[in-house]
Amino acid sequence: MIPNQPELGEALPSVSDPLAAAPPLVDGGHSHAGDRKLLGLMLGAMGVVFGDIGTSPLYALKATVLATEGGLPNHVAVMGSLSMIFWALILVVTVKYVLIIMRADNNGEGGTLALAALAHRSPGMTRRIKATIGIGATVGLALFFGDGMLTPAVTVLSAVEGVTVEAPHFAPLVVPLSLAILVLLFVIQDRGTHKIGRLFGPVMLLWFFALAYFGAVSLLGNPGILMAVNPWYALQMFLHAPWVAFVSLGAVVLAVTGCEALYADMGHFGRRPIQYAWLFLALPALMLNYFGQGAALLRHPEDAHIAFFSVIPHWAHMPMVILATLAAIIASQAVITGVFSMTQQAVQLGQLPRMEIRHTSATDYGQIFVPRMNALLGIGVVLIVLIFKSSDALTAAYGIAVTGVMVIDTFNAGIVAKKQWKWLPWLVILLFGGMGISDVIFFISNSLKIPEGGWLPLFIAFCVFVAMDTWRRGRRVHLEKVRQESLPLSLFLDRADKSTTRVAGLAVFLSSRTDIVPGALLHNLKHNKVLHERVVIANVVVEDTPLVAPAKRIEVEKLGKGFYAVKIHHGFFETPDVPQALEDARRFGLALDVDTATFFIGRETLVPAERSELGRWRNRLYRTMAGAALSPARFYHLPPNRVVELGTQITI
């Protein structure tokens, strides 16, 4: 049995209340209880959302200045690098993501898939544009997974390497210690985002305070560094050495890595707490630290390779190494949480096979743990650390996936602004066209890193894309084969009472459609030669919205002769619970006791056809993925002692 999930790139179900206008930049509302809740969510967001971008000072300015080494005078390199980082944080993170793209929430959810689904259901869309959105969403998700493996490795290595600044003899311990920290992080993921956020929130506040304090102290020693806010200094780099400046853009991106995780984690804490935490806490602290590092490099150009620790006094060096390591763990957490969110969306939208998704909070539906993805990420991160062994080697691979996702997000957000917010066409072209051009420039600059390690996130993204594309194609062929070999339900009902024994009780058959006879029903009739007194054909439909209102959760159609067709609607950020949904069927006149019902599902054995539409290797990959998918009984939360599985063979 395969859930009837929509696929991006195909026609999606319409919604009755599409977004008509962009929400305000910052939500309103005042109350003491609300303020306390807001502060609590801001603290939690600090511990989960801002770890990635908050640890960028460990390596961003260092990598940018070193990228210009030998090609520009030190003063021009430092001032120009700072200017580019400053405007990247303002334009890319603050304006683009925090103030614009985060307004394009899909019923509170963010991320590449949520934004793509929102853009996909915009009115007046051509089939070609919808197909482009679907492909872009798949590519964006694949790139995000690639970035998700690099972020924990590069941030933890950058922090742990700080110990060698004052104690070079500890260098052999950097990789083993980094691996121990990373393995422990993935082991504790099943404790839940909420608990981790409460633990990490205060630590992250201390981290940002330390960034601001040490940066401000260094800045006061050379306040003229503040002149770098003038974009003329960035332009000077291109006038002095255009190619060197262009190459350095690939390092500037390191300062904004984490903006997609920030957007993807919006469903965990809400838009307003993240916006406030960024504007009033994270951004000022980052700016002070970057300018403090710049002031230190103007005084001591030889410290470029330890730019972050150049602003730390001797007495605070080891405490800052420890704090930086904790912040690096939090940076990893931000991306891991985002990967979990995106995985759930992908599973529900039919982009990936069914996986176990555990909800780690009784009150917040967005706080989840995906065991299989956690294991894959953990293995990937460990291998990356063992292969690259240093943060300098990893920064060469870092950033290309981020810029790819940024291009896709800009395209989809532009569609939402034009079609749903009803912005004037010239404004959309001017604003999103400008952002798109800058994203493409960043992407091309990062593409120069491919020979030095940029191939790694692209290789990971390619593997993920092939897997998702194979799953989508395989499902399409699979469902079509089931439809062709199935008996129309109307024809079956005409003959249902002629030679069939009816027995007392309720049977629920899960099916991908409600107009055909489920294979499990035919097999039950063939082997047991009976039909239950009441038969429910249940079809799970995943909409392209994060949540479905309870009033629209279920549809019941009485077919006659004791047969009922039930459609259960869920959002892509909800885990379908068939028994719970069926309890609501009473208001439609279908009174049933789930505790006494028998649930029938088909256990399908896929056999390759002599000439498969998928081709030989895709066919094998699809059958492997289908075999590894979580069983429908567990995925749909069916009571284990009330499930009957009937085997069937399908040739694809």
CATH number for the domain spanning 560: value is 3.40.50
Total domains in the fold of the chain: 2
Which amino acid type is present at position 440? V
Would you say the pTM of this structure is higher than 0.85?
no
CA distance 478 to 550: 31
Give yes or no: residues 159 and 85 share one domain: yes
Between CA 41 and CA 46, with CA 42 as vertex, the angle to 5 degrees is 115
Q: Are 19 and 413 in contact (CB under 8 A)?
A: no
Q: Could you tell me which of 140, 66, 49 has the C-alpha nearest to residue 391?
A: 66
Give yes or no: residues 566 and 623 share one domain: yes
Q: Quote the pLDDT of residue 292.
A: 95
Cα 298 versus chain centre, distance? 39
SS (H, E, C) 233-246: HHHHHHHHCHHHHH
Q: Token pair of 217, please?
A: 């102290």
C-alpha distance across the termini of the chain, in Å: 15
Q: Could you tell me which of 140, 134, 85, 91 has the C-alpha nearest to residue 112?
A: 140
User: What's the length of the chain?
Assistant: 652
Under 8 Å CB-to-CB from 228, ≥6 apart: which residues? 78, 79, 80, 82, 83, 86, 291, 294
Q: Quote the pLDDT of residue 18.
A: 31
What's the CATH code of the domain at 82? 1.20.1740.10
Q: Are 342 and 265 in contact (CB under 8 A)?
A: no
Would residue 15 count as lying in a domain?
A: no
Q: Token pair of 581, please?
A: 């949904």
Q: Are 219 and 51 in contact (CB under 8 A)?
A: no
pLDDT surpassing 60 at residue 19: no
Q: Quote the pLDDT of residue 381.
A: 92
Q: Quote the pLDDT of residue 22.
A: 47
Give yes or no: residues 323 and 217 share one domain: yes
Give yes or no: residues 486 and 538 share one domain: yes
Would residue 46 count as lying in a domain?
A: no
What phi and psi values does residue 391 have, to the nearest 5 degrees? -70, -35
Which amino acid type is present at position 602? G
Confidence of residue 282 (pLDDT cuts 50, 70, 90): very high
Would residue 8 count as lying in a domain?
A: no
Q: Determine the average pLDDT of the residues in 571-590.
A: 83
Q: Quote the pLDDT of residue 531.
A: 87
Q: Token pair of 305, please?
A: 């390779």
Q: Quote the pLDDT of residue 193.
A: 56
Give yes or no: residues 440 and 511 share one domain: no
Q: Determine the average pLDDT of the residues in 623-651.
A: 87
Would residue 106 count as lying in a domain?
A: yes
pLDDT surpassing 80 at residue 198: no
Q: Quote the pLDDT of residue 33.
A: 61
H helix or E strand, kind and range, residue 558? strand 554-560
- At 612 the three-state DSSP class reads coil
Would residue 27 count as lying in a domain?
A: no
Q: Could you tell me which of 278, 342, 281 has the C-alpha nearest to residue 92?
A: 278
Q: Are 379 and 149 in contact (CB under 8 A)?
A: no
Under 8 Å CB-to-CB from 292, ≥6 apart: which residues? 214, 215, 216, 217, 218, 219, 311
Q: Give 329-376 pLDDT, tens digit per residue.
A: 887 877 787 788 788 888 888 888 989 888 765 555 556 788 999 999
Which structural domain, as residue segments, surrounds residue 615?
479-651
Q: Could you tell me which of 340, 333, 378 has the C-alpha nearest to residue 51?
A: 333
CA distance 214 to 309: 10
Give yes or no: residues 443 and 508 share one domain: no
Q: Token pair of 479, please?
A: 């469902």
Give yes or no: residues 485 and 445 share one domain: no
Give yes or no: residues 167 and 311 share one domain: yes
Burial class of residue 148 in the structure, from the number of CB atoms within 10 Å of its CB (0-12 exposed, 13-18 middle, 19+ buried): buried
Burial class of residue 616 in the structure, from the number of CB atoms within 10 Å of its CB (0-12 exposed, 13-18 middle, 19+ buried): exposed
Burial class of residue 627 in the structure, from the number of CB atoms within 10 Å of its CB (0-12 exposed, 13-18 middle, 19+ buried): exposed
